[in-house]
């Protein structure tokens, strides 16, 4: 890198650091989108379940998933009521319509977060693509000067 000026060496170092940071940010945003997408799917499943259970009669026997492909048999006592977590260990008993509405709002919030995160990811991706040509140019110049002339 002897033929790179001091300024070019500093610029190469700065660009390399910025590219690394942008790549890390990009990966974090992609993970966030994945988590939000899983949350959205969970909300959609909950909505479908609430809608399906509401159509059942009281005392209908159902299978309740308890994890690890295991279920327990249970009888519905009030299929028109839903217990919904509010956060902080708080639970509210909601009617069918309220539950569907609340799940719809949650889904909307998650979709908005996904959109915002995708926009941030797009900006970071554009920044990465903007930095790459200059980094490649400086690296090529440094490599060119390292090779002995024949």
Does the pLDDT value for residue 86 go beyond 80? yes
Residue 73: strand pairing partners: 63
Query: Residue 87, exposed/middle/buried by CB under 10 A (0-12, 13-18, 19+)?
Result: exposed
**Maximum Cα–Cα distance for the chain, whole Å?**
90
Sequential DSSP letters for 17-60: HHHHHHHHHHHHHHHHHHHHHHHHHHHHHHHHHHHHHHTSPTT-
Does the pLDDT value for residue 1 go beyond 50? no
Distance CA 112, CA 73 (A): 37
Q: Could you report the per-residue pLDDT of 25-71, keeping only the tens digit for each? A: 999 999 999 999 999 999 999 999 999 999 999 999 999 999 999 99
Domain boundaries, the chain: 6-143
3-state helix, strand, coil in the chain (%, to 5): 65, 15, 15
State the average pLDDT over residues 86-104: 94
Instruction: Tell which wins on pLDDT, 142 or 109.
Output: 109
- Name the CATH topology of 6-143: Helix Hairpins (1.10.287)
């Amino acid at each position: 890198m002897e033929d790179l000026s001091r300024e070019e060496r500093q610029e190469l170092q700065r660009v390399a650091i910025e590219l690394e940071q942008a790549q890390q940010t990009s990966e974090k945003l992609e993970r966030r989108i994945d988590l939000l997408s899983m949350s959205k799917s969970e909300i959609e499943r909950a909505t479908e379940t609430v809608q399906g259970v509401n159509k059942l009669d009281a005392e209908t026997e159902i299978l309740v998933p308890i994890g690890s492909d295991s279920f327990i048999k249970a009888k519905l006592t009030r299929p028109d009521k839903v217990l919904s977590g509010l956060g902080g260990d708080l639970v509210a008993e909601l009617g069918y319509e309220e539950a569907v509405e609340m799940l719809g709002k949650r889904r909307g919030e998650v979709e908005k977060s996904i959109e915002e995160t995708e926009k941030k990811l797009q900006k970071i991706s554009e920044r990465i693509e903007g930095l790459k040509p200059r980094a490649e140019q400086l690296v090529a110049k440094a490599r060119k000067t390292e090779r002995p002339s024949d």
